[in-house]
Amino acid sequence: MIANTSAGTQAVEDTADGGGERGRTSQLRRRLGRADLRAVPETRRALRELLRHWGRPGQSETAELLTSELVTNALVHTDQDAVLTATVGPDGLRVEVRDFVADRPQPRRPDTGDGTHGRGLVLVQSLADAWGVRPHGIGKAVWFELGAEMA
């Protein structure tokens, strides 16, 4: 099933080979326009829908928070479009935000004078089961994973 919305969200749902419900994966893919901060709450809503029956209590909220941080970073620290891909399957959730700027982000210790700035990657580093940055042709992809622990 593919659903498009006017905001540019494309949700794609597939069933993996040989799996029935156990092998089922769902994916959210979204193009993020350059400096379009409206994409942050829109992406949170789309991810919430994707994850409505996933994980233990509070886990989807953590996924929303971390996704918001990656999306915000891509939109604030680059002057380019970005692409979000969130894939949920039997082993967990993987969220990746690809941008088209080669500079690698670095977690930094937030300064009290920064207000709410400088905490995004520290949150990702603290709350994700795994995270990283990988070169991706022109640019990079920043990703995180959360395991599929069920309540």
Give the pLDDT confidence of 78-120 residue by residue, as tens digits: 888 999 999 999 899 999 999 999 888 776 666 656 555 556 7
pLDDT of residue 120: 78
SS3 category, 38: coil
> How many H helices and E strands in the chain?
3, 7
How far apart, in whole angstroms, are the C-alpha atoms of residue 49 and residue 87? 13
Helical H segments across 38-142, by residue range:
39-50, 59-77, 120-127
Over residues 9-56, the pLDDT tens digits come to: 333 333 333 334 556 889 999 999 988 889 999 999 999 999 998 888
pLDDT band at 57 (very low <50, low <70, confident <90, very high): confident
For β-strands 130-135 and 140-147, DSSP reports them as antiparallel
How far apart, in whole angstroms, are the C-alpha atoms of residue 55 and residue 96? 18
pTM score, whole prediction: 0.78
How many C-beta atoms lie closer than 10 Å to residue 139's C-beta?
Answer: 17
SS3 category, 61: helix
How far apart, in whole angstroms, are the C-alpha atoms of residue 17 and residue 64? 28
Q: Tell me the residue type at 44.
A: R
